[in-house]
Homo-oligomer: A and B are copies of this chain.
Amino acid sequence: MIPTQQAVLDGDKMAMARLMTLVENDDPKGLDLLRKLFKHTGKARIIGITGPPGVGKSTLVFKVAQAFRKMGKKVGIVAVDPTSPFTGGALLGDRVRMQDLSTDEGVFIRSMGNRGYFGGLARRTGEVVDILDAAGMDIVIVETIGTGQAEVDVVRTVHTCCVVLVPGFGDEVQTFKAGILEIGDIFVVNKADKGADKVVMELRAMLDLAVDRDKDAWVPPIVKTAATTGEGVDELIKAMDGHCGHIKGSGRLRLKAVEKAMRDMDLLLGEKFMAGFMKKKGMRERFEAAAKKVANRKTDPRTAVERLTG
């Protein structure tokens, strides 16, 4: 059954969940409703929390969500990390704690983990964020492991990206330097009770080297937290608010919206071309026959593709 537009706009959880499932399955009626809802998006603040497994991302998401709830904000959580407790992939204790949050009327949690999409994860994650946005969530938190192409792609479309590290993880911050400095708007050193000074110092030094020294440039703050006790979470929220104000003032927020639109359109165009191509009469069979020839080295993939499209 297709939910009504009004039910989704009203934040009816059942309607939202149903629409998300329809959209994930590429149901035409679901996609049609998504289309209509789109003009109601653009109001939510999208926050990314990213980092390798084991750094305590989910606990941090939990605490950040609680903090926003105390301010009366409605919070959506999208877990892209398949090892997140939100996706059911982790410890029972964590899952129980997350359930506390999921029974809160002002919180909506959706897991994107482990559904075996081929190429469609980034697009679908963006659409789930859109549904949460249209449904009146003030804050949408996207939790992702942050490595991997589709995942980095997801992270690039959030408004504020928090990169979470822990002291002593892999012994050195350097392990993370590749790629991660560019995507972080805020760096969080979690489990800071285990001695965060070294990692903070190294991170600061690397950021000072790497970050563009434009006078209007955002200087990523480093926040120390201990997510299990909640220490540092208020400071993190303040840093998030600071970044939100910065991107509004600098025009970066507007630029991000255009970038997100371009990415969404790009992904849809690719899917549309492929679907149209494969629907041609006999194409599926021709494609499979060509793949067999390639596997036998009778031809190469580029020549095969040229013949199929020529």
Residues of A within 8 A of B (CB): 31, 34-35, 38-39, 41-42, 52-54, 82-83, 87, 89-91, 113-114, 117-119, 121-122, 145, 147-153, 169-172, 174-179, 254, 257-258, 260-262, 264-266, 268-270, 272-274, 277, 287-288, 290-292, 294-297, 299-305, 308-309
Contact = CB atoms under 8 A, between A and B. Distances in A.
Contacts of A297: 38-39, 41-42
Given A147-B82, A300-B38, A175 B258 contact: no
A39 B300 contact: yes
Given A31-B302, A35-B302, 4 more contacts: A148-B152, A257-B296, A260-B295, A272-B305
Contacts of A175: 53-54, 83, 89-91
A292 B179 contact: no
Given A265-B290, A269-B274, A273-B274, A54 B305 contact: no
Contacts of A290: 261, 265
Contacts of A148: 145, 147-152
Contacts of A172: 90-91
A265 B294 contact: yes
Contacts of A169: 54
Nearest to A83: B175
B149 A272 contact: no
A277 B269 contact: yes
A174 B54 CA distance: 12
A141 to B, nearest CB: 19
Contact of A291 (B31, B258, B302, B308): B258
A174 B91 contact: yes
A83 to B, nearest CB: 5
| Shortest beta-carbon contacts, A-B, top 5 | A148-B148, A38-B300, A261-B294, A273-B273, A82-B178
